[in-house]
Amino acid sequence: MTITNLQEALPMPESQRANLPLIDVEHGVKVVLVALPGGVKIAPHKAPYVATAQLLAGRIEVLKGETWISMLPGDRVVFDKDQPHALTGIESSYVLVTHMRS
């Protein structure tokens, strides 16, 4: 699958996040495109594996452990296994989330 227009691939919702799974290898890598409207928060949570978030468009803040990090397009953050993390859309944003489950 080739995505040339994020809005066409995953229209930006108004008040909640939307997800588009791109790759899902059982017991392996899972890649998800997330549309996160401005002002929407993904509550703190943990994953039992390493995960990354790469900002494709927009502006977000990411909680990594106890530290908030401002992100701009092209920025990427790595979350360690079982590390608390959260996301907040500062403006409508597209984020590529990768779960490394193996």
* pLDDT at site 12: 96
Q: What is the pLDDT of residues 32-87, one digit of tens each?
A: 999 999 999 999 999 899 999 999 999 999 999 999 999 999 999 999 999 999 99
- pLDDT for 51 equals 96
pLDDT of the residue at 2: 86
Can you give the three-state secondary structure of the chain, one letter per residue?
CCCCCHHHHCCCCCCCCEEEEEEECCCCEEEEEEEECCCCEEEEECCCCEEEEEEEEEEEEEEECCEEEEECCCCEEEECCCCCEEEEEEEEEEEEEEEECC
- Mean pLDDT, residues 81-100 taken together: 96
User: Residue 1 — pLDDT band, cuts 50, 70, 90?
Assistant: confident
User: In the prediction, which pLDDT does 76 show?
Assistant: 98
